[in-house]
Amino acid sequence: MVKVKVLSASVGAALLFGAVGSAQAATATQDVASLKAQVAELQQMVQQLSNQQQNQAVQLQQQSEIAAKTAPVAAPTVASGKPGWLTLPDGQTQVKLYGSVRVDGTYDLKGNPSASISNNSNAVPLNSANATKNSMNVTAATSRIGLDIVRPTEHGDLTGKIEADFMGSSGTNGSGAFRVRHAYLSLGNWLVGQTTSPFVNADTAPDTVDFNGPMGYGATRTVQVRYTQPLTANQKLLVALEGGDVDNFSGATQTSGGSRFPALTARYDVATADKKGLLQVHALAHENRVSTNDDNDQEKWGWGVGLGGKYSLTPNDTVFANYYHVKGDSKYLLYVNNAYTVTGDGTTTDYTINLGEYDTGLIGYGHKWNPQWRSNVAAGGIWYKDNGTYGAAANKNLYNILVNSFYTPVKNLDLGMEYTYGQRKTFSSQEGDYSRVNLMAKYSF
């Protein structure tokens, strides 16, 4: 519009000068009249052009507003650089669904104390019991489902995890109860919620078909507040306060008492620069407490230390080893006796907490035969200190040896077979042997 006005002024000036120049050849009255007519015509043209420009601008603005109102809402898309992740409509939160469909079958060649597929090697019938042999159990309750969540913040990524399976019950044929495995959030170095305890050795144990695992192994998940401090590129320290327990014992009166303090656990990780090796040091301290009333309670501290590691000798060969010494705890490692016993009837202050004390050991070796086949062999044991804490019927030591193979015919599908042999021995020198075959089919997604 500005350019049109400038053009009009320029043409008008030119005509004016031309008129002055031609004044010598015509009368002044005729020239002035002609000039006025031409200027009026130019002004009319300029006004028409200005109106057209204004109308076009209004039309473009209206079209833009209509397009903005009728444009479809963008559908969630897979996050760039994160295959399998879905971006929610807020454009910030991303989620990923994962899990496994799994079916297990067990066949106990010797006595089995229950119909569960869980390994009950600390409770197998004694050889003198003449228990029923050759029993089969199956379940799909070991299937699980989980959701990972992440959202960027000014303090780093806010992440969360929810994972559950159906092993909240015995896990027998056709049954299962939903249970929480992991449910936590983390931001920066802090984590709050339920997940694997720093005290257990889930990272330094061989893969097994058995849902529980070998002797000397633990995968306990607790509600905790945890802080992780990276020390170097290959070292970090984890410290957690974990939810307390309620311990029970039977006497003349059933009594129970919750711990006054949370359990304290810690883990120190050292990895080799080439990531072939990992060493972990574990520590635990928590209170054991029994109480009949506020004036009648007893407390003793339980504790434990552990050392575990794994190392890849070649891309196809890995060795594992773990050791624990624990006193006054039965929560974190599998197959152990009660944390303590209590002497006295529990109705007066005349009773004592007697802490159990034991060592565990686990060694293993894993080999990949080819992209489809892999195998593991492992041996583990538990040895109790004979300090008079337990009666003659309690387990003094246990061990097991297992051998397995996994076949992966297609991606994400594992077929596993495993044989386990073991024995438990009581303080009265009674023995109970067990022998079991495990089968598994698992599709991971």
pLDDT of residue 144: 97
Classify residue 76: in a domain, yes or no.
no
- The C-alpha atoms of residue 359 and residue 401 are separated, in whole angstroms, by 17
7 and 144, same domain (yes or no): no
pLDDT by residue for the chain (445 residues), tens digit each? 444 444 344 434 443 344 444 445 445 566 667 767 776 777 777 677 667 777 776 677 777 666 655 555 444 444 455 788 999 999 999 999 999 999 999 999 988 877 788 888 899 999 998 888 899 999 999 999 999 999 999 999 999 999 999 998 877 888 889 999 999 999 999 999 999 999 999 999 999 999 999 999 999 999 999 999 999 999 999 999 999 765 555 443 445 556 889 999 999 999 999 999 999 999 999 998 887 667 777 889 999 999 999 999 999 999 999 999 999 999 999 999 999 888 775 555 566 888 999 999 999 999 999 999 999 999 999 999 987 889 899 999 999 999 999 999 999 999 999 999 999 999 999 999 999 999 999 999 9
Classify residue 118: in a domain, yes or no.
yes
- DSSP symbol at 196: E
Q: What share of the chain is helix, strand, coil (3-state, %, to 5)?
A: 15, 50, 35
Pairing of strands 135-139, 94-108: antiparallel
158 and 49, same domain (yes or no): no
Residue 197 CA from chain centroid, whole number: 12
Kindly report the CATH number assigned to the domain that includes residue 101. Answer: 2.40.160.10
- The C-alpha atoms of residue 342 and residue 52 are separated, in whole angstroms, by 99
Domain residues for the domain of 56 are 2-70
Classify residue 79: in a domain, yes or no.
no
pLDDT of residue 428: 94
HSE-CB of 380 using CA atoms within 13 angstroms: 32
280 and 156, same domain (yes or no): yes
- DSSP symbol at 78: B
- DSSP symbol at 85: -
- Total tally of structural domains belonging to the chain: 2
pLDDT of residue 123: 92
108 and 61, same domain (yes or no): no
345 and 428, same domain (yes or no): yes
Classify residue 80: in a domain, yes or no.
no
115 and 28, same domain (yes or no): no
On whether the CB atoms of residues 340 and 257 are closer than 8 A, the answer is: no
Classify residue 29: in a domain, yes or no.
yes
On whether the CB atoms of residues 428 and 393 are closer than 8 A, the answer is: yes
330 and 435, same domain (yes or no): yes
Classify residue 81: in a domain, yes or no.
no
50 and 113, same domain (yes or no): no
Classify residue 318: in a domain, yes or no.
yes
Classify residue 213: in a domain, yes or no.
yes
39 and 137, same domain (yes or no): no
pLDDT of residue 171: 78
pTM over 0.95: no
44 and 110, same domain (yes or no): no
- The C-alpha atoms of residue 61 and residue 69 are separated, in whole angstroms, by 13
The two structure tokens encoding residue 405: 């193979």
Q: Which of 393, 388, 332 is nearest to 356 (CA)?
A: 388
Q: Which of 292, 300, 419 is nearest to 353 (CA)?
A: 300
- The C-alpha atoms of residue 36 and residue 280 are separated, in whole angstroms, by 100
- The C-alpha atoms of residue 123 and residue 282 are separated, in whole angstroms, by 27
54 and 170, same domain (yes or no): no
189 and 311, same domain (yes or no): yes
On whether the CB atoms of residues 213 and 205 are closer than 8 A, the answer is: yes
Q: What is the 3-state secondary structure (H, E, C) of 359-390?
A: EEEEEEEEEECCCCEEEEEEEEEEEECCCCCC
